[in-house]
Every structure is written in structure tokens, then in C-alpha cells.
Amino acid sequence: MHFPTTSKNCHYCKKHFNSAANVRTHIRKLHKPKFSCPEEDCDFQFIMYSEYKRHYITKHTIEKQYFCPLCDKGYKYEGHCKTHISNCKANTK
Ligand SMILES: [Zn+2]
Ligand SMILES: [Zn+2]
Ligand SMILES: [Zn+2]
């Protein structure tokens, strides 16, 4: 199955836009998402935590095996994960 990385439709109200950037602006303004994907190359935003979790699991955790115990961020390589843990925002207490 193919999942487009950018959609020109708002998945909340099904409104259609000229570009994916316009959709994001619209969602930010109208639907006020509380959760945004922490992946650098992904700017999906969500209103519900469950939506975010589902997106993250289906999109980003499939090939990841190492997870930060502090913020649940996942990595493919153990080295990357360890580097993150030592720099993790949630670690500074
Ligand atoms: Zn909308
Ligand atoms: Zn994402
Ligand atoms: Zn972390």
C-alpha cells in the first residue's frame, strides 16, 4: 500500500487545498493541534494523542528497535539512541 507523505486534504474536515503547506497552515489555525511529530523530517500534527501515537507507530517505529526511555523516541541504531539519551531534553532535571 502506498501512503503519500504529503496530503492536500485536511484529514479533519476534508477541505481541499492547493498545497500541503496550505493544509498545515489551515490545520494549525483552525484545528489547533496539540501534538506534533518529533521526527525531524516529518511535520504531521495531531489533535488527539491517540492519533499521534498511531501515526508514530505506523510511520516511524516499524524498523526501529531502540527507544529512549525518557521520551519514547525511537532509533534504528543503538549508537544513535545512546547519543540521544545523553542529550535528551527529558533528561535535564
Ligand atoms: Zn480542516
Ligand atoms: Zn511523523
Ligand atoms: Zn529522549
Can you give the pLDDT of all 93 residues of the chain as single tens digits?
444 456 799 888 999 999 988 988 898 899 988 888 888 778 788 888 998 888 888 888 777 788 899 988 888 889 999 999 999 987 665
3-state SS, residue 61: coil
Q: What is the pLDDT of residue 80?
A: 92
Residues with CB under 5 A from ligand 1 (ion): 10, 12-13, 15
- Is 1 domain-assigned? no
Please tell me whether residues 80 and 47 are part of one structural domain. Answer: no
Rg (CA), the chain: 15
Structural domain range at position 73? 63-93
Ligand in nearest proximity to the CA of 15: 1
Rounded to 5 degrees, φ, ψ at 16 are: -100, 140
Please tell me whether residues 37 and 17 are part of one structural domain. Answer: yes
